[in-house]
Chain A
Amino acid sequence: MKLLVPVKRVLDYNVKPRVRADGTGVDLAGSKMSMNPFDEIAVEEAVRLRERGVATEIVVVSIGVQQCQETLRTALAMGADRAILVLTEAAPEPLAVAKLLRALVLREGPRLVVLGKQAIDDDMNATGQMLAGLLGWAQATFASRVEVAAEADGGTATVTREVDGGLETIAVALPAIVTVDLRLNEPRYASLPNIMKARKKPMETLSLGDLGVDVTPRLTTLRVSEPPVRKGGVTVGSVAELVSKLRSEARVI
């Protein structure tokens, strides 16, 4: 069966975001960009599902600027088979992204969509759930373990999920959406031969118009600001002094 794996190009997780002085957003100019770490885990899981014989083809898709091609090449080097770039200068909101992905799902016909639980830039944690809602598919979010039993026209994914206070296992009917959490797997590094091979894998570019989706934003960002800076306090000389200050000065114990 075919898998669809959406990936997002985001500010590298090791780079500290700089808020623009005029409050219009975070300055990305000249910063290192990478694949959203949760999406890397999604690509890895898809490749493992193919290695286990569950998946037959992995299509990766990214929505954004031309440079998203680099993100897609990374996914191809990890083992995806072909890529689709939906080209747009604006950064669509999760609702619009989910609508674009729905259009691609209807075009490509995957039985499973695997994606990161959230992007580390807008931290919205919404796209997978919204795609499931739009398609009327089952969803299994925050996966830490995925087992897929595919059948000719159905099948089941048994997914262990990270929930408050522990783990929960659910079984979802295919077709389904799975969003992945950190502990699902450790993504592989692409080898040099695989990076070379990825250059020859097919990559298609589509415009928003090709998919016929209205991406008008519903949210207006009025301001982006630095969070209040927390000032360091005092260094205490001993455990006794620490406890005494917590009792008499901070009054928290």
Chain B
Amino acid sequence: MEMKRVMLTSGAEATIELRDGIILKSRAPKRYRLKEIDERLRRERTKIEAKLIAEARKSGVPTPIIYDVMNCEIQMEYIDGVQLKHVLDANLSERIGELVGLLHTAGIIHGDLTTSNMILAGERIYLIDFGLAYFDQSTEARGVDVHVLFQTFESTHGGHETLIKAFTRGYRKTFKDADDVLQRVKEIESRGRYRTERL
């Protein structure tokens, strides 16, 4: 039987391949960096990613189902939908806020919350690419997580203030420490070099 193989994306982190309806995410070696650094990062990130995808799902955040993990490759469910960066609006941003709130309640930091890493499939928003995710319950880690998303809103989407406001609404709904984190986000923003609006 002939296998159907399609290369979906070659992202910065990994290559995503669709093989017989299953997603294969593999972290190919990066030639630009030293082998020692490369192997350390790829191995650690693959193992942690698989674990976190499963944990996030348990906490109520739609993520792909994991089928298998080996070396630097994860086999998981294929989510057929559209990246949020192409369809983002305030309503969706509020729902992102709810999901990130659930994630943070479960003690999970995504680590790369961009609108490229969210897929709208039917009625559900799936979070994908947990390649930089980790467990952490600190306000700081949660703040950086949200800060990254706000940076994406600002750098890639128009009307980012509305999107941020909508996100905040959703985030507060599902996460009791939301206000502490949002306060920290402001402080983190002021840390980048030369920010004029200091707290």
The reply to whether chain A is a binding partner of chain B is no
Chain B residues with a Cβ under 8 A of chain A: none
